A and B are shown apart, each in its own frame.
Chain A
């Protein structure tokens, strides 16, 4: 089974900051890496699929990169509404697996 490790587990940043979250896979998953945003009391929302493909309607300040075993989610200019938990997930092989989540707080 593939293990996904996210870092950091939490972070606090200011409006306008550039924020980067990292996700590492225990073995290669090529580009089968997806990022989700979850706000309190809501279901997760797909932000980025296939490592770097931005979903329709997602602001362009969000971007994803990486391949193989190391991936990043970047928010280029943090906005107040970006306060949420971010999760990575591999869809390379079943059992699918998620990272443990990164809780992003706005200072």
Chain B
């Protein structure tokens, strides 16, 4: 059974930093591209970032490019999102999401339960 368990969400002040983690199990982690997707009540689902199975290729939404960094450790079956210069508009539930393919353009076939990030003073 595929399991994706996020952690690291917290209340942080504007301008602060946070690192999200996602522990994966139940599949060959290095064979799958991984994503972070966030959700706010007002804006629905928003894709944030993607990384290929090898970790060689990464992509970002314009809204986070230059502030967020996606990475993975295939030896630990773990996905990360380093979030810097956080803004109020980054407040959301962040999901770790698995794609079916190693290098993008596939459906999001498994989702974690999410970790909440709140940016507020």
- Which residues in A have some Cβ–Cβ distance to B below 8 Å? 32, 34, 36, 43-46, 49-50, 55, 87, 89, 91-101
Contact = CB atoms under 8 A, between A and B. Distances in A.
- Secondary structure at the B interface, as helix, strand, loop or mixed, is strand
Interface residues of B, number: 23
A100 B112 CA distance: 21
Contacts of B105: 32, 91-93
Contacts of B111: 43-45
Given A34-B107, A91-B105, A44 B45 contact: yes
A101 B45 contact: yes
Interface of B: 35, 44-47, 50, 59, 61-62, 95, 99-100, 104-114
Contacts of A94: 50, 59, 104
A102 to B, nearest CB: 11
B109 A43 contact: no
